[in-house]
Structure 1
Amino acid sequence: MLPLFVITSLLAFASSKPCDTEGSNRELLLSLNKNLLRSLETQDGLPNPSVHLALRLSNSHNLAKESEHLNKLKNNLHNDLQSSLSNSRPVVGLLALYTLALKSSCYDLNTITFAVGEKSETLLTHLKKQMEQEKEHIAFSQRPLTNYYQYSLGVLALCTSGIRVNNHVSNKLIKAVEHEHFKHGDTESVDTYAMAGMALQCVKDSGSHAQNSAELDTALSKVKQKLLASRRPDGHIGNEFSTGLAVQALLTMGTEVAECAASMEAMRTAARNNIYHNPMAISQTLPALHQKSYLTVKSKECLNEDNTLTLEPLDPVVVLPTETKVAVTVEVVTSSGAAEVYSVDVPKGSSLLEALELLKGKHVGFMYEMESSLWGPFLSAVNGEQARQSDRRYWHLSSDGTALSEGVRDFKIEAAQRISIKNKSY
């Protein structure tokens, strides 16, 4: 039986308030959909399977552009995954998203293979093997090779593809929920709870975890409680960038999220304020605004789809250089606790990445290295020191003591501030 506070929270969450007209909401969805479609033309690096998944879960389509992107995934992303698998690099999260993207296009997954060594095996076989490696690593060291977000994605991708998830694999996720292992640094990861909720709900719906159904139900209740407890006064769950996944998870787990619920309104407000300019952010938010989740791909048929989405030519945007400069102090704290402080003046509106580049040119002692991700570039090394996932370390970014929710390319500097870059463990 659910505690009274959870029941009360559910009722509060489901209640609606006055919100924009249906026509206005529909226009916003269409605008986000078009922005995501345009991102296919400007994306750098590998084609993004999360973007493809969101486009396929939308109600309006441009099937020609989606098909073109699918081909890029099957070539460029496939080759990158092939290289990672051949070099024994753990890529369960990317492999899972690739699986979900293909599934969303109703592609026959049994025709997708990877050759490692002398042996060629299907995508799903490789995904199962990756999950077994992750599971064994948890048994040995109490944590996955990658992280529980990617582990959850792996469970979800296998389950939505009709593959029975090994009980030992799903049990590891259930235990991680029970022991509250979903943390990034000192903060609980709403994104991970959301992805775990979708994965475990899929396992429950498949009926493959009947022996431990009570533990599974307890884990799902805890995930739901964690997400509801993470709601902010403005309606977001966690932060602006985790709300989409959180709403997807709540919908999946049977919580009614009304069209005018506070979380839906919060996402719409953020979208209208251009908070979701990163394609990855749109890709996780758009399905939730359609009141769908990644589990939708399990039953997707790709029949009689609306093919009316077209892109109008955009007027070129001319950004005039600003003469206004703002003072930025950058503090770099290494894993040993040693700190270096630098200062630089940057044009107002510069990205943090642009500020770091200016700092690099001004101070001989400051240097940094970047790596790419689906969210964009991220710091991998500062002043010669690395913060690697394999060592359970990362560069924590904050501004005037508040952790940044955006990456170095997306965060804009509008006023004088102190940026802190700390090598932290998780």
Structure 2
Amino acid sequence: MILFVAVALIALTAGKTACASGDELLLQLNKELLQSTEASGSLPNPSVHIALRLSTHHNLLKESQNLNQLKTKLHDDIQSSINDMKPVVGRLALYVLALKASCQDLSSFTLSVNEMSEPLLTHLKKELETEKRNIASKQRPKTNYYQYSLGILALCVSGVRVSSHISHKLIHAVQHGQIKHDVSLCIDSHAMAGMALQCLKDARTTVNNEAELNKALATIKKKLLESERADGHMGNEFSTGLAVQALLAMGSYVKEHANSVEAMRADARKGTYHNPMAISQILPALQQRSYLDLKSKDCHDEDDSLIWNVLPVQPEVQSNVLVHVHVEVVKATGLISDFLVDVPSGSSLLKALTLLQDQQIGFTFEKEESLWGPFLSRVNGEWARQSDRRYWKISSDGNALKEGMGDYKIDADQKITIKNIDY
């Protein structure tokens, strides 16, 4: 009996230790997201705000300040894009979800369209109509199915009826294998489509064919489960968060995806998720929540126990070790150009390309900002943009990069291939 009690106490203590360790990890991720909101010179990220608001622990003052940044800087940026006639469905949808996460009255937010004031949700519906027409004429959205799904999800979570014509296009795309791109992006897109369609089903939104809706959801679930690797990640380290969110939203129990959850925890402890966008997608999943939980978000009597202090920015340590980088640029015509540059070990790809541009005539590049950080838009005078259904695919020694150019670190000799491809 004494032995039994001793073993039981050890097990209980171990369980508490594991739980505390898990709690500490979640708190650390929360603090890293709060730290990211202090970044100057960049647009506030609505995905970060959503994750903070879905979290168990809060710093309500910092979250309120971040909300105000969204309502000014991000709002103005979306308005500017509309003025320039650029598609905004993805950013607008995330903005709507972020406002919903803070229980804001969405009817009080407007945009200026053709010198007329228009509610956010009304404009989001119009953006989706434009996307739908593009699918009808060109068999693809003007943007992509990830943003299309995000737009449907934002309307549904906000209690707005989604046209059956719009939902049918997404269901059809799932069933006919039209959601495709890079492997990890495909998992991201299927996950977002799963949450959007599940929201429609839960809301009992009218669709053209309910059996087809259920079939599409089953197809998505199958694709997500089949994407699980031996290490537990689905697609890759950066698509697992959304995949788990989607599976939870579609009714799976968290214990069914224990390997995927542990894989995210392990990578979080290793520092893999240093990009705020990546953290914002895994944090809800680690707390067994998804974007669908925003539909019933209650902002009363919230915890306000998260203590956070501004951390000093650590200067980048300059390595004395140089590594050799062979940069190969493949234009849309197939024309290949080769360049060589030596960079300090540990440099980001962005820094490496900047050094290459500074040191050698014949190589130039331009970048644009996104919620994931900077991405290549123009190399050696040639564009590869979403509006042209093209992008610069970057590989290292033949393996496609999982991270963006600002996050990927070069710590050994390698060949970087930058190829202009369509999708």
| TM-score when normalising by structure 2 | 0.94
Unmatched 5+ residue regions in structure 1?
Answer: 1-17
Q: Answer yes or no: is 1:155 the counterpart of 2:147.
A: no
Per-residue CA deviation, residues 131-178 of structure 1 (Å, 9 max, x unaligned), is 111001100110001000000000000000000110000000000001
Q: Note closer, same or farther for the CA distance 1:301–1:415 as it changes in structure 2 (3 Å cut).
A: same
Q: Answer yes or no: is 1:254 the counterpart of 2:245.
A: no
Given that 1:19 and 1:260 are in contact with CA atoms closer than 8 Å, whether structure 2 keeps it comes out as no
**Which residue in the other structure is 1:35 paired with?**
32
CA distance in structure 2 between the aligned counterparts of 1:327 and 1:78, rounded to whole angstroms: 43
Q: Note closer, same or farther for the CA distance 1:251–1:83 as it changes in structure 2 (3 Å cut).
A: same
CA distance in structure 2 between the aligned counterparts of 1:144 and 1:316, rounded to whole angstroms: 40
Secondary structure at the residue paired with 2:295? Answer: helix
CA distance in structure 2 between the aligned counterparts of 1:358 and 1:138, rounded to whole angstroms: 41
CA distance in structure 1 between the aligned counterparts of 2:406 and 2:326, rounded to whole angstroms: 18
CA distance in structure 2 between the aligned counterparts of 1:373 and 1:263, rounded to whole angstroms: 27
| 1:397-408 aligned within 5 A | 397-408=394-405
Q: Answer yes or no: is 1:194 the counterpart of 2:191.
A: yes
Report the CA distance between 1:319 and its aligned residue: 4.4
Amino acid at match of 2:180: K
Q: CA RMSD in A?
A: 1.6
**Which residue in the other structure is 2:165 paired with?**
168
**Which residue in the other structure is 2:321 paired with?**
324
Q: Note closer, same or farther for the CA distance 1:19–1:326 as it changes in structure 2 (3 Å cut).
A: farther
* Aligned equivalent of 2:107, options 106, 110, 113: 110
**Which residue in the other structure is 1:268 paired with?**
265
CA distance in structure 1 between the aligned counterparts of 2:158 and 2:311, rounded to whole angstroms: 38
Q: Which 10-residue stretch deviates more, 373-382 or 176-185?
A: 176-185
Per-residue CA deviation, residues 343-388 of structure 1 (Å, 9 max, x unaligned), is 1111000000000011111210000000010000100000000001
**Which residue in the other structure is 1:382 paired with?**
379
Per-residue CA deviation, residues 4-63 of structure 1 (Å, 9 max, x unaligned), is xxxxxxxxxxxxxx9981111110000000000011112532111111101000001111
**Which residue in the other structure is 2:230 paired with?**
233
Q: Answer yes or no: is 1:69 the counterpart of 2:66.
A: yes
Q: Answer yes or no: is 1:132 the counterpart of 2:166.
A: no
Q: Which 10-residue stretch deviates more, 99-108 or 386-395?
A: 386-395
Given that 1:182 and 1:188 are in contact with CA atoms closer than 8 Å, whether structure 2 keeps it comes out as no
CA distance in structure 1 between the aligned counterparts of 2:258 and 2:183, rounded to whole angstroms: 29
Report the CA distance between 1:117 and its aligned residue: 2.1
**Which residue in the other structure is 2:6 paired with?**
none
Report the CA distance between 1:187 and its aligned residue: 7.1
Amino acid at match of 1:375: W
Amino acid at match of 1:180: G
May I ask how many residue pairs the two structures share in their alignment?
A: 409
Q: Note closer, same or farther for the CA distance 1:259–1:213 as it changes in structure 2 (3 Å cut).
A: closer
Given that 1:234 and 1:266 are in contact with CA atoms closer than 8 Å, whether structure 2 keeps it comes out as yes
Report the CA distance between 1:322 and its aligned residue: 1.4
Amino acid at match of 1:354: K
**Which residue in the other structure is 1:360 paired with?**
357
User: Which protein, 1 or 2, shows the higher relative CO under an 8 Å CA cutoff with sep ≥ 6?
Assistant: 1
Q: Note closer, same or farther for the CA distance 1:211–1:317 as it changes in structure 2 (3 Å cut).
A: closer
Secondary structure at the residue paired with 1:395? Answer: strand
Q: Which 10-residue stretch deviates more, 179-188 or 281-290?
A: 179-188
CA distance in structure 1 between the aligned counterparts of 2:140 and 2:257, rounded to whole angstroms: 39
Q: Which 10-residue stretch deviates more, 312-321 or 55-64?
A: 312-321
**Which residue in the other structure is 1:245 paired with?**
242
Given that 1:327 and 1:416 are in contact with CA atoms closer than 8 Å, whether structure 2 keeps it comes out as yes
CA distance in structure 2 between the aligned counterparts of 1:30 and 1:363, rounded to whole angstroms: 45
* Aligned equivalent of 1:52, options 26, 46, 49: 49
CA distance in structure 1 between the aligned counterparts of 2:353 and 2:17, rounded to whole angstroms: 40
CA distance in structure 1 between the aligned counterparts of 2:127 and 2:356, rounded to whole angstroms: 41
CA distance in structure 2 between the aligned counterparts of 1:221 and 1:190, rounded to whole angstroms: 14
Given that 1:135 and 1:169 are in contact with CA atoms closer than 8 Å, whether structure 2 keeps it comes out as yes
Q: Note closer, same or farther for the CA distance 1:260–1:90 as it changes in structure 2 (3 Å cut).
A: closer
CA distance in structure 2 between the aligned counterparts of 1:297 and 1:71, rounded to whole angstroms: 19
Amino acid at match of 1:45: S
The structure 1 segments of at least 4 consecutive aligned residues displaced by more than 6 Å after TM superposition are: none
- Identical-residue share of aligned pairs (%): 60
Report the CA distance between 1:72 and its aligned residue: 0.9
Q: Answer yes or no: is 1:281 the counterpart of 2:285.
A: no
CA distance in structure 1 between the aligned counterparts of 2:22 and 2:257, rounded to whole angstroms: 10
Q: Answer yes or no: is 1:217 the counterpart of 2:214.
A: yes
**Which residue in the other structure is 1:204 paired with?**
201
Secondary structure at the residue paired with 2:38? Answer: helix
Q: Which 10-residue stretch deviates more, 352-361 or 113-122?
A: 113-122
